[in-house]
Structure 1
């Protein structure tokens, strides 16, 4: 199981244990992997030749008395009824709908005693595993009967393996605290999500893409695979949350009032929701109190947070598009940080202008300077989108910078896709040469293709400085496969620049040439 090795070991160890009754509960939010781990426990029990009583209740059965008990005992009860005392047999047959009830229905104590007798009989010779998935949907009558029966076990080899969305209650299980083991599943890390997606779709995510997916899904395997499936079906589509996944998370918000849900939508748009900013935005921050009580929000040293990223996504998407844009406009006006301001400006704007696009581009450069290339790439793309009337060179130049930032982030798959799209739009010239050399130098294309790209770029450059840059990138590309040619390219770059060109470019050219001179003539100074 990807990312659940420790938990799997704990489940297998529990199933193999001997020495009396016990219970293990697997707890966590929907989609976190409880059922997968629970099934692994069943598989282990079957390998150990254990007898298994299995129930998988659904929400519709929660109000049906003894539906869970019928699922557990229905296949085995026929051979055991004759060994039960008459009152127990009669009560159990009514509970399992095998006979008509009397005027008062089955007596709960008799059903519990009958269940205990059955469990003891089944666990006499071989260990018995009671396995219940989605315990939260187990009907109350079955839950009470099991709790009574389990509480009366002493040395019998009867184990309970349950998966539940809710944090378990020792009283409901009927066992002493020391006999109960709990596993609370949290989100998977980026490497595990990456491996999970690779196993499901046969494609390898870049680590930055895996990190984005993990952040958006909260490490929830189900949500992550839903999001990855959307990306797999629509390569290059923006990382947004599909409506069905949002709806599943949004069920937590439904009981809250309209005012609270609207306030949560505003809060979800804030990158760093400080208490003072919340008060300024909402006027009355107490409107969020029900969300804290419901476990949708929590507060830590850094401010107020949603307890799961998909709750934030659901709250955000519950806002009408026009309201969303208005919220982002308010936040952009209040933001002191250029990156945060740029992100809000982009989200607030459908049709931009040169001023807005320039502001977003400044945010992109700020993000790049801070070592946040993924954010920078997104902002460069937004800057290109927001100024459709800008000169072609400006718009495509921003898209080229987005490609460079994606490569810097290690997101080669997305970068190559964007780069190839750019090549379809660009005519021969410095910009096209820049795209070609960027792709060639990325290490993400075969060496023969990279060399061909560099050769094309050198020929089509119009300025000497751009041609020198292409020569140096070509030098880096072929220095291990064709050192003589790389040396010649470094020499040509230095000659082209002379005393002109940007200082960093000249320094790079001189450094490269000096290195090759030293390699070919170690005595050269």
Structure 2
């Protein structure tokens, strides 16, 4: 049933005006408000208005449980257009997008994050060439970091194309701007606060939804208790008896979470069990629930109660609060729910995540499985997934496997660093330094140096060189980094000398990657000071990359040229 939107005339006018104005290049409108205030309803109306106006609409409604799933948002946004854009992309970019969206298995070289981001940029560029495009994300705070990063990269480089961004976000999320908002200039981002409904609007809203009217005093009390929040008011009003005593407190829970909990508790136990699985997944496919033993008609009562809805073979909660409250109320049952999902999940990274969330005590086999899944997530270009799985692998590694714990700690630090979680990466690395010697300590120092200004990184890198004495390849890598850092102490001439020494070491051990890194740095440093040998270094770097056949080195070499 379709209901009229009441009490939001001003908001709808602002939203429609935003969508109708497509001549000014990239712009964003952010709908902000508390949970249940009606942001999603306005978002849905805006998406429909954009479709009627002929815009290409890319939409995603991420759930809280999906934030740890890499590139799931990209998959939603591009689902209806992916076949149209893939054929027009260059081969490396096409492959990166196909692997990231699970349309192709990882084989050979891992997905490069920059290549994936450029592929997303090219896709948006192609779509906007055909006409104005709207990227609509409901509850942007739950958009997975991998998708946010690629979209942010693309949005920063759209150069005035007719691409509009429509986002909703809870005010309670700390007021932090999402990466998508930060990708556009501040004057291109408008915010619309979605506030409470008036008493009159709430009266019309409840009459339309419940087919009943309330005495004025009761209506005023519903409005006061709910703060004009339509979702809360509807939940309150739906459980009120017809003969409410105006002199007594409303016989309903005090908070929206309690109201939602009571509504879910009223459903049969078998329905709540099926809903728990759906809440733990986020947006669950009916096929996954069937593999988990959920009968086809098990959720009929939840659909009838407007707790969930069916959409193209997927089960989606009608409001994020329903999913959040149900999941939070699982308590000790949560691990069993995740274990059940892990048993039937076919996609390995999804299975690994639920296996990790179902396991409380160290388990060598589970840790090993998570280690492999982290590698797969990294190969797909999903750094946030990689960091989460690497952290779980470290957590579940038994204490008597000291070497494995140190190795996985370093892997987790690198993963968090790649995902932009510098605080966590620093914490893991600092802890690792206190109990590590030799090459592993050298690698930890190399990571820790990333958090320092080049001049302050020098002592850490000098210690790392000494710790890596038994590992020539690692020592060469540290020398390259150290030479660059020392340019503030020794000048560019000193940095060139240090990098030449690193090149000699790389040549001695015959490592093409290290040789290329040293040559690339010599080309850069030499170019800064007019070194006559810089062109020769650049040419040799290209020769090394070409001879190695390494696609990543070839991309970097071409960038040098």
| 2:274–2:294 CA contact under 8 A, matched in 1 | no
1:366 and 1:396 map into 2 onto residues whose CA distance is: 21
**C-alpha distance 306-166 of structure 1, shift in aligned 2 (>3 A):** closer
* Deviation larger for 352-361 or 266-275: 266-275
**C-alpha distance 523-390 of structure 1, shift in aligned 2 (>3 A):** same
- Identify which of 381, 384, 389 aligns with 1:374: 384
1:439 and 1:248 map into 2 onto residues whose CA distance is: 48
Are residue 466 (structure 1) and residue 450 (structure 2) matched?
A: no
1:29-178 correspondence to structure 2 within 5 Å: 30=35, 32=37, 132=199, 135=202, 140-142=214-216, 163-166=228-231
Question: CA deviation digits over 1:117-136, x for unaligned, max 9?
Answer: xxxxxxxxxxxxx9659957
1:7-26 correspondence to structure 2 within 5 Å: none
RMSD across aligned C-alpha pairs, in angstroms? Answer: 4.1
Question: CA deviation digits over 1:331-363, x for unaligned, max 9?
Answer: 323333221121122122222432221110011
Query: 1:428 is paired with a residue of what secondary structure?
Result: coil
Normalising by structure 1, what TM-score? 0.52
1:145 to partner: Cα distance: 10
1:485 to partner: Cα distance: 3.5
1:320 to partner: Cα distance: 5.2
| 1:262–1:319 CA contact under 8 A, matched in 2 | no
2:198 and 2:320 map into 1 onto residues whose CA distance is: 31
**C-alpha distance 489-32 of structure 1, shift in aligned 2 (>3 A):** farther
1:468 to partner: Cα distance: 1.4
Query: 1:299 is paired with a residue of what secondary structure?
Result: strand
Normalising by structure 2, what TM-score? 0.49
| 1:246–1:313 CA contact under 8 A, matched in 2 | no
1:477 to partner: Cα distance: 4.0
Query: 2:316 is paired with a residue of what secondary structure?
Result: strand
1:14-413 correspondence to structure 2 within 5 Å: 30=35, 32=37, 132=199, 135=202, 140-142=214-216, 163-166=228-231, 250-270=261-281, 273-301=284-312, 303-319=314-330, 321=332, 323-389=333-399, 391-413=401-423
| 1:364–1:380 CA contact under 8 A, matched in 2 | yes
Residue aligning to 2:457 = 450
1:265 to partner: Cα distance: 0.8
* Deviation larger for 479-488 or 395-404: 479-488
1:490 to partner: Cα distance: 1.8
Query: 1:304 is paired with a residue of what secondary structure?
Result: strand
2:475 and 2:228 map into 1 onto residues whose CA distance is: 64
Query: 1:282 is paired with a residue of what secondary structure?
Result: coil
| 1:400–1:422 CA contact under 8 A, matched in 2 | yes
2:375 and 2:232 map into 1 onto residues whose CA distance is: 46
Query: 2:306 is paired with a residue of what secondary structure?
Result: coil
- Identify which of 462, 467, 484 aligns with 2:493: 484
2:514 and 2:312 map into 1 onto residues whose CA distance is: 45
1:27 and 1:404 map into 2 onto residues whose CA distance is: 35
1:166 to partner: Cα distance: 4.7
**C-alpha distance 311-499 of structure 1, shift in aligned 2 (>3 A):** farther
| 2:472–2:509 CA contact under 8 A, matched in 1 | no
**C-alpha distance 417-255 of structure 1, shift in aligned 2 (>3 A):** same
Note the residue ranges of structure 1 that are not aligned, 5 or more in a row.
Answer: 1-5, 12-25, 35-129, 147-161, 170-243
| 1:338–1:362 CA contact under 8 A, matched in 2 | no
Question: CA deviation digits over 1:39-77, x for unaligned, max 9?
Answer: xxxxxxxxxxxxxxxxxxxxxxxxxxxxxxxxxxxxxxx
* Deviation larger for 394-403 or 306-315: 306-315
Residue aligning to 1:507 = 516
**C-alpha distance 167-316 of structure 1, shift in aligned 2 (>3 A):** closer
Query: 2:264 is paired with a residue of what secondary structure?
Result: coil
1:279 and 1:331 map into 2 onto residues whose CA distance is: 11
**C-alpha distance 340-245 of structure 1, shift in aligned 2 (>3 A):** farther
* Deviation larger for 329-338 or 370-379: 329-338
1:295 and 1:363 map into 2 onto residues whose CA distance is: 36
Query: 2:315 is paired with a residue of what secondary structure?
Result: strand
Note the residue ranges of structure 2 that are not aligned, 5 or more in a row.
Answer: 1-9, 16-30, 40-196, 207-212, 221-226, 235-254, 537-561
1:432 to partner: Cα distance: 2.2
1:365 to partner: Cα distance: 1.0
1:382 to partner: Cα distance: 0.9
Residue aligning to 2:118 = none
| 1:472–1:509 CA contact under 8 A, matched in 2 | yes
Question: CA deviation digits over 1:199-228, x for unaligned, max 9?
Answer: xxxxxxxxxxxxxxxxxxxxxxxxxxxxxx
2:449 and 2:38 map into 1 onto residues whose CA distance is: 41
Residue aligning to 1:67 = none
2:412 and 2:32 map into 1 onto residues whose CA distance is: 42
1:523 and 1:140 map into 2 onto residues whose CA distance is: 82
Q: Which structure 1 residue ranges, 4+ long, deviate > 6 Å from structure 2?
A: 8-11, 26-29, 136-139, 143-146
**C-alpha distance 164-288 of structure 1, shift in aligned 2 (>3 A):** same
Residue aligning to 1:214 = none
Larger gyration radius, structure 1 or structure 2: 1
**C-alpha distance 396-302 of structure 1, shift in aligned 2 (>3 A):** farther
**C-alpha distance 521-351 of structure 1, shift in aligned 2 (>3 A):** same
